[in-house]
Amino acid sequence: MFHGDKGKPSKFKTIRYNYDILIDNERMSLSKLGARLGFYSIEYAGKINEVETVYDTPNNLLTGVGIVIRKKHTPKRTYFSLVKINSIKNSRNSDRKEFLGECDPNDQPKDFPVQIADKINQIFNNLFTINLVDMIKHCSPYVINEVTGNLYKIHSGTGYEAELAFETMNVKNARTGKRERVRNFSIIFPMDPNYEHEREQILNAVDLYCNELVPLNRNKFEIAEIAVKTRVPKQMPEQEKKEKKGKKKKEE
């Protein structure tokens, strides 16, 4: 069984916007935001130090249909969550995230197959006819993302609070051993409907005045997966091979 939820309870779900960093200068980016958001304050909130492990079957049957089983380990807690990747991407929509439960650092999805399968069926409205419990029992680590960096809080004059993160992602493909380092900036907003105006103000300030930060229509897992994905060499069609071979013979 999961241990429950010992984290800070939140009334509202959150949405994360990710950005590629073209010019890596935290002080410059924060200075620009501070200058443009006069009624907001930005303060340092501490170091980021966490490990995210995404699990999947050997053939990636879950992530292939938009299901991400993720275990996050921080200095304070370890927990599983489930992400449904939105198939329609734009910079103003979000993937659906569901908290599953706190666990021990060494726990695996196969330790909680029934609970995870029930949550997947709930999110997808019982769409799947396959045996999800058995599939989850065969999941193993796929992408491991060690994230470090700096966290900042941004406060509005109306009491709204969001988070800014400058992150270094040290990503490893657990099956091939391939590693990559990725820099990422993100904004994390609580989805309180009373503060839609404040969210738009912050997003517009980043879009208009921080040209060194480029919006990415991908979530954190997708950014990490692309970084360490093995590129398959493009195969030349058989007909093209024959034509090329015939041309070579004529030249000889």
The predicted-structure confidence for 86-129, as pLDDT tens digits, reads as follows 765 554 555 678 889 999 999 999 999 999 999 999 888 877 77
**Residue 133: pLDDT above 90?**
yes
Q: For residue 90, what pLDDT is reported? A: 56
**Residue 106 near residue 80 (C-beta atoms within 8 A):** no
164-186 burial: b if 16+ Cβ within 10 Å, else e: bbbbebbbbbbeeeeeeebebbb
pTM: 0.84
In the numeric block, which tokens belong to residue 214? Answer: 């480029």
What digits encode the pLDDT tens for the residues 33-73? 999 998 999 999 999 999 999 999 999 999 998 899 999 99
**Residue 66 near residue 97 (C-beta atoms within 8 A):** no
**Residue 6: pLDDT above 90?**
no
User: In the chain, where are the structural domains located?
Assistant: 14-230
What digits encode the pLDDT tens for the residues 148-167? 999 999 999 889 999 999 99
Q: For residue 128, what pLDDT is reported? A: 78
The fold adopted by the segment(s) 14-230 is Hypothetical Protein Pfu-838710-001 (2.40.320)
- pLDDT (average), residues 238-245: 63
